[in-house]
A and B are shown apart, each in its own frame.
Chain A
Amino acid sequence: MNMKRCLRWLCLVLLAGGLVFHGAVQAAYPDKPVEFIAPANPGGGWDLTCRMSSQVLKEAGLVAQPMVVANKPGGFGVVAMTEMTRSRAQDQNTLVAFSAVLTTQMAIKKNPFTYKDVTPVAALFVDYGAIAVKKDAKYASFKDLIEDWKKQPGGISFAGSSPPGGLDHMRIAMMAKELGLPLKDLRYVAFQGGADALAALLGGHVTAFVGEAGEIAGHAESGTIRPLALLSDRKLTGIFEKVPMASEFGVKVSSANWRGFYGAPGMKKEVLTYWEDTFGKMVKTKQWADVLEKQAWVDLFLTGEKLQKFLDDELTMYQNLAKDLGLVQ
């Protein structure tokens, strides 16, 4: 065989192999475009979770099918969940973003569904809670703030972005409980999103901001606000390196908002396994590490039984807290 012939054979073999391989991929899941549903408006946390994940999955070549992000806002995720449990119960090609907002809404019985009505697929990362004040505020440290708060429990107003009974409100309640402050005096002001809450803080209309580290990263970096404490069980790196944990001041509160995806209640076992594996590969990519770094998010990858237990524990914790707060009987 001369060289030319050899090459011709090689081409043929490669081509045949390619076709077979191509056929195999075609037959395997996903055989249709995948839809990521953000159950909120564009620009928020759920929206970012969907867009960042689909972007990394595409760039890293982990999912061969096109991925589209759709926004289905309403009732803090209830509208999307209603659709998934009713008309889309057997849909294999849709993933919906979820987070601690779901467990808190369940705890105060605002959501008629639970994560048991759908198929939780994976938790991907957490965004830790943070307390911040304006840069020229009189509170130089978290200690100053809590001392003043103890003196006048109703005198400190906190701006957050969840409704009463939501995550930000629970964070204030957990802190007040640790400090032994009467829960009925708390002054929590709910805004439409973290940006509105930050604007109220910057304009001096409220005393402090309660939210997530990712929401204030830009402002912490530029020095317009002063992050006083992280509600976390570990120190963060990057922008928040020098920010102490609340537990260092005796306020043992760690509150992370995790984010991940769930699928339709009728999601097949092999589809669930596919996504568990695929997300498992995604969180190990360089691109994903970059995303986490930029957003001040912290890696937390949970699937299967670990995810179930995590959700159960969290729900119990928020249910107890909701009772203490008098939000449910």
Chain B
Amino acid sequence: MIEILNHLGYGLQIALVPINLLYAFIGCLVGTLIGVLPGIGPAGGMALLIPLTYGKEPASAIILLAGIYYGAMYGGSTTSILLNVPGEAASVVTTLDGYQMARKGRAGPALSIAAIGSFIAGTIGVALLMLLGPPLAKVALQFGPAETFALMVFGLSTVTSLAGKSVRKGLVATTFGLMLATVGSDLPTGIIRFTFDIPKLMEGVDIIVVAIGLFAVSEILSSAEEMRAGEFLVEKVSRIWLSFQDFLQSIGAILRGSFLGFFIGVLPGAAHVTASFLSYTLEKRLSKHPERFGQGEIRGVAAPESANNSAACGALIPLLTMGLPASAVTAVLYGALLMTGVRPSPFLFQKHPDVVWGLIGSMYIGNVMLLILNLPLVALWVKILRTPPRWLFPIVLAVSFVGVYSVNASALDLLLATLLGVVGYFMRRLDYPLAPVILGLVLGNLLEQALRQTLMISGGSLDIFWRSPIAITLFVLAAAVVALPKVLYRSQSKLEVET
């Protein structure tokens, strides 16, 4: 413990060098912007800023780039809450309750709890990274293709909590997401599927394009309709700041989200997205009033926003302790390290303590910076809602389309977003939930890939799953998530009948 504190002191020393403080600040600022603006995600934003790190100390380079990463997790919630436009894939769940809170005049508390939750989760995440990094990396390695498949099944089981009234409609939406995931070149065989000879589609359909299309475009379509009918009502902002009661209500969710998110983050797969969906499900299951979720429940904002921040810390573990980038974002960090002359390897802690501990130190400081940066912004953001809808919606639409275009600089993506917007509009009209589409799309590829890799390893035999205790546990958990609410519901209604 003393040793860790010594290391941390050393890391803080590096992080507090003025130039590194400046880099951390630039990283956090750019990250917040990338998070706030829909479209280009943390990986793309980091790649754009890599040239800034040429010729710099490796520690400075990684402090800057990592700042963008966790900064984006802070900013991502802003447009989700205010406008129902997810800034990042990891903020899709936040739209469910965040936007409802904004419609009810509680945009301020929603944004504040997202920032505070992110701060608490970010700080817990770094602490866990520092204390548990190396042993957890060993656990992460236990997750081969079979275990990853089971994890994805578990992730998909959360759809039952997103489905709203009808589980059947939730399943239809999930299947639509899974179908979208099959577009593109299939990794295990390299065969091109459902691309209609359009080269742009080979890489698949981008998640953020679908998210913006389904959520933002369809939101504007249906709001426009409500406006015409005179039904579009946004309650006046009652108070900007969070009440102490709100905070007390959310603190449990924040802490659970922080720990859950961190551990999911260490594991392979779409960590932030899975973490945010899972923590939302957990809160809904634990709540005495699950019916409030989706109607503007503050815990539905606090939990996923905390989880995606601590997942960002967890995701750094495979890179820092094993030299293995497990996600698109950490792959950029990996490349940036190589370019500054640091070869990521299992010896990173020993060989380049300045990089690892400097980064850890800067993350503590960066989280404070982000909190100070984001809380005053809440007042500013809330003002956006005072814009009359007839001005606001065209601006939102423009910002959304710029965001979509920024992902791949592709006009086809604009067309796709528009089409999906229309699909989303009809889904809303027919009461189909939208979030399961994103879940299906994000997990679909990983799910299929992991299953096929598993079967390639086992030579086609399914026994491999029963030989893995981790996989069995996850399958049981998935079954529990799906079955439990029904069982509970039945026993509850029985009780009611009896009394």
Contact = CB atoms under 8 A, between A and B. Distances in A.
Given A157-B456, A224-B346, A164 B188 contact: yes
B152 interface: no
B452 to A, nearest CB: 9
B456 A295 contact: no
Interface stretch (A73-81, A176-184, A227-235, A260-268): A73-81
B345 A51 contact: no
Contacts of B335: 42-44, 47-48, 51
Contact of A202 (B50, B187, B322, B456): B322
Contacts of B50: 42, 51, 69
A73 B146 CA distance: 28
B199 A190 contact: no
A165 to B, nearest CB: 6
Given A42-B46, A189-B457, A199 B322 contact: yes
B87 interface: no
Nearest to A58: B54
Contact of A205 (B47, B343, B457): B457
B190 A163 contact: yes
A203 B142 contact: yes
A101 to B, nearest CB: 11
B142 A74 contact: no
Interface residues of A, number: 54
B245 interface: no
B457 A43 contact: no
B185 interface: yes
Interface stretch (A12-20, A143-151, A213-221, A302-310): A213-221
Contact of B341 (A76, A195, A294): A294
Contact of A75 (B185, B341, B449): B185
A37 to B, nearest CB: 12
B485 interface: no
A163 B324 CA distance: 20
Given A74-B202, A157-B456, A202 B190 contact: no
A44 to B, nearest CB: 7
A73 B199 CA distance: 11
Interface string B293-337: 000000000000000000000000010001111101001111100
Given A157-B457, A189-B457, A199-B141, A219 B185 contact: no
A133 to B, nearest CB: 15
A217 B343 contact: yes
B384 to A, nearest CB: 32
A219 B321 CA distance: 11
Contacts of A119: none
Interface string A166-200: 10000000000000000000011111110110111
B47 A79 contact: no
B266 to A, nearest CB: 12
B346 A74 contact: no
Nearest to A207: B457
Contacts of B341: 294
B203 A79 contact: yes
A69 B202 contact: no
A221 B348 CA distance: 12
Nearest to B203: A74
B457 A206 contact: yes
Given A43-B335, A74-B202, A199 B187 contact: no
Q: Which among A76, A189, A195 has the highest number of chain B CB atoms within 10 Å? A: A195
B453 interface: yes
Interface in B12-52: 43-44, 46-47, 50-51
Nearest to B185: A75
B457 A187 contact: yes
A79 B202 contact: yes
Given A55-B339, A69-B51, A189-B457, A199 B202 contact: no
B328 to A, nearest CB: 6
B346 A43 contact: no
The size class of the interface chain B forms with chain A is: 35 or more
Contact of B347 (A157, A189, A222): A222
Q: Which among B55, B143, B343 has the highest number of chain A CB atoms within 10 Å? A: B343
Interface in A37-58: 41-44, 47-48, 51-52, 55, 58
Contacts of A47: 335
A58 B141 CA distance: 39
Given A82-B199, A195-B324, A55 B54 contact: yes
B141 A202 contact: yes
Contact of B190 (A110, A195, A205, A206): A110
B339 A75 contact: no
A202 B143 CA distance: 10
A317 interface: no
A3 B420 CA distance: 78
Contacts of A199: 140-141, 268, 318, 322, 324, 326
Contacts of B343: 217-218, 221, 294
B200 interface: yes
B461 to A, nearest CB: 12
Given A43-B332, A75-B185, A79-B200, A52 B324 contact: no
Contacts of A195: 324-326, 331, 334
B350 to A, nearest CB: 9
Contacts of B334: 43, 195
B332 to A, nearest CB: 4
Nearest to A157: B457
Contacts of A69: 47, 50-51
Contacts of A108: 190
B459 interface: yes
B179 interface: no
B144 interface: yes
A58 B55 CA distance: 11
Q: Which among A154, A165, A294 has the highest number of chain B CB atoms within 10 Å? A: A294
Contact of A165 (B190, B333, B346, B456): B190
A244 B56 CA distance: 37
Contacts of A166: 190
B349 to A, nearest CB: 11
5 contacts: A59-B55, A196-B326, A202-B141, A205-B146, A221-B347
Interface of A: 41-44, 47-48, 51-52, 55, 58-59, 68-69, 71, 73-76, 78-79, 82, 108, 110, 154, 157, 163-166, 187-193, 195-196, 198-200, 202-206, 217-219, 221-222, 224, 294-295
Given A42-B50, A51-B335, A79-B202, 8 more contacts: A42-B46, A163-B189, A204-B144, A205-B146, A206-B144, A218-B344, A221-B345, A221-B347
The 5 closest A-B pairs by CB, nearest first: A218-B345, A205-B144, A163-B190, A43-B331, A75-B202
